């Protein structure tokens, strides 16, 4: 499917200027899955470029419209998925992540059928450089898995590099996608732990097996 307008850089610019308060994103990402928070703030930023932006339209995470009308069709559909750099490189998580992205892209491609809407997937990876000390275990999301991952030779720096390599390799290949942009968001710190969000903007790979088949 071809689109008349490429909104990739509009999405990237919005991601790079989400406008969270100091250390707000760090706390949200450290203590929960940040998909909803990032989606909601991304929607707010995209309203600067589109007259109408909606969430959860026909099970799509985020949609943007070029006109304000009851029968308007979206010109942009974005699906979001979050992982952790320290745990998301495990084979089981890689397969699950790729499967979710492939399914989301297939669903969005079907929703865009008959229009020139652009379909994108946003994969975000939470990265922390340590585990905070002196907190109840439930406060930090995936604390036990993260503690185990941090014992890996090379620590968090090596795992972050591995995650980037896995995303650019196995995940995009298994998802039938290609990376069109990427970047990193400085989330600040929470409980003396630095938090960053790496992200990759994906689109369906036209050379992959028909991705819409996975939604049927």
pLDDT cut 70: percent of the chain above it: 94
CA–CA distances in Å: residue 73 to residues 53, 115, 120: 11, 8, 16
The pLDDT value recorded for residue 161 is 92
Helices (H), 56-151: 91-111, 143-149
* 212 pLDDT above the threshold of 80: no
Measured distance CA(14)–CA(49) in Å, rounded: 9
pLDDT cut 90: percent of the chain above it: 69
Mean pLDDT score, 150-164: 85
Mean pLDDT score, 54-65: 93
Q: What is the pTM of this model?
A: 0.91
Angle at 17 between CA 86 and CA 128, to 5 degrees: 15
Measured distance CA(99)–CA(121) in Å, rounded: 12
Measured distance CA(119)–CA(103) in Å, rounded: 13
Task: Give the residue from 156, 134, 21, 40 showing the smallest Cα distance to 87.
Answer: 156
The pLDDT value recorded for residue 119 is 97
Mean pLDDT score, 127-155: 84
Helices (H), 47-171: 91-111, 143-149, 155-166
Strands (E), 25-135: 52-57, 60-65, 74-84, 118-128
User: Structure tokens of 135?
Assistant: 């907190």
């Amino acid at each position: 499917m071809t689109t008349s307008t490429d909104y990739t850089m509009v999405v990237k610019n919005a991601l790079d200027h989400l406008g969270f308060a100091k250390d707000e994103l760090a706390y949200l990402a450290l203590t929960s899955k940040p998909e909803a928070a990032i989606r909601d703030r991304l929607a707010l930023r995209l309203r600067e470029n589109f007259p109408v932006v909606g969430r959860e339209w026909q099970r799509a995470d985020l949609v943007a419209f070029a006109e304000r009308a009851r029968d308007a069709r979206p010109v942009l559909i974005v699906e979001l998925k979050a992982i952790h750099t320290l745990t998301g490189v495990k084979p089981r998580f890689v397969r699950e992540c790729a499967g979710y992205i492939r399914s989301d892209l297939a669903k969005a491609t079907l929703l865009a059928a008959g229009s020139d809407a652009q379909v994108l997937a946003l994969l975000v990876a939470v990265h922390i450089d340590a585990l905070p000390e002196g907190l109840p275990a439930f406060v930090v999301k995936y604390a036990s898995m993260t503690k185990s991952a941090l014992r890996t030779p090379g620590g968090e720096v090596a795992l972050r590099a591995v995650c980037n390599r896995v995303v650019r390799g196995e995940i995009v290949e298994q998802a039938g996608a290609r990376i069109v942009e990427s970047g990193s968001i400085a989330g600040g710190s929470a409980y003396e732990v630095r938090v960053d969000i790496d992200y990759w903007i994906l689109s369906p790979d036209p050379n992959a097996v028909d991705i819409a088949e996975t939604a049927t």
